Amino acid sequence: NAGVTQTPKFQVLKTGQSMTLQCAQDMNHEYMSWYRQDPGMGLRLIHYSVGAGITDQGEVPNGYNVSRSTTEDFPLRLLSAAPSQTSVYFCASSLRGGTQYFGPGTRLTVL
Amino acid sequence: KQEVTQIPAALSVPEGENLVLNCSFTDSAIYNLQWFRQDPGKGLTSLLLIQSSQREQTSGRLNASLDKSSGRSTLYIAASQPGDSATYLCAVSNYNQGGKLIFGQGTELSVKP
């Protein structure tokens, strides 16, 4: 099993550009989530999904969109990047009530 | 609103010492609690998962306890080693919250040879 994979590892964007952060898991997990990690703020939930076709907002959803068309994939879209979205982004997956497995992260810088 | 606090924020110990990391949460209606390890520049690695009905979990030199009524969990590391140096994060999941985790700020552990 590859576990949870994320691409790209690093990305630099200019303000106003859009992009999609990719996340995939091969463990047939129902639950998938996106977090951002910022110094002094810890890890905060952006969006999550409890299954294909079902998504919901987390603590900091503004400026981000998600969709879940398959069990395996959960992409995160930045609609119009802002410097405040400079962060490290982590994707996670789990079975209901189970251990959460995290991907290696995407380091995003918005200039 | 659930809040998770970890004390201390940083800890430095000599190699071989036994140590305890603390985690507290404000709402006792949790589904489970997880302890993670994060090395600098890396992702999170799950160490232990404790379900709300359990009191403790053990893995090797690690032992995590859970006291829901008091809103506390501890991570005990026996015979610490320099390789244990990392940031340790505690996170809780509430009932009917679809796997959403609320994280503490973490404890940065340094084990000196």
Statement: residue B110 has pLDDT above 80:
yes
pLDDT at residue B99, as a whole number: 73
Judge whether A83 is closer than 8 Å to chain B, CB to CB: no
Which whole number is the average pLDDT over B69-98?
92
Which has the closest alpha carbon to B87: B56, B51, B26, B43? B43
Confidence bin at B1 (pLDDT 50/70/90): confident
pLDDT at residue A104, as a whole number: 95
- A36-83 pLDDT, tens per residue? 999 888 899 999 999 999 999 999 999 999 999 999 999 999 999 999
Is there a contact between A49 and A32 (Cβ–Cβ < 8 Å)? yes
Of B31, B99, B106, the CB nearest to A42: B106
pLDDT at residue B98, as a whole number: 63
Chain B partners within 8 Å of A42 (Cβ): 103-106
Is there a contact between A92 and A103 (Cβ–Cβ < 8 Å)? yes
Statement: residue B45 has pLDDT above 80:
yes
Which whole number is the average pLDDT over B3-7?
95
Q: Do B100 and A45 touch (CB under 8 A)?
A: yes
- A69-82 pLDDT, tens per residue? 999 999 999 999 99
| Å between B61 CA and nearest CA of chain A | 19
Judge whether B98 is closer than 8 Å to chain A, CB to CB: yes
In chain B, the residue whose alpha carbon lies closest to the alpha carbon of A54 is B98
Peptide bond preceding B113: is omega within 30 degrees of 0, i.e. cis?
no
3-state percent breakdown (helix, strand, coil) of chain A, nearest 5: 5, 55, 45
pLDDT at residue B95, as a whole number: 72
Confidence bin at A10 (pLDDT 50/70/90): very high
Of B36, B43, B49, the CB nearest to A103: B43
Confidence bin at B81 (pLDDT 50/70/90): very high
Which whole number is the average pLDDT over B23-33?
94
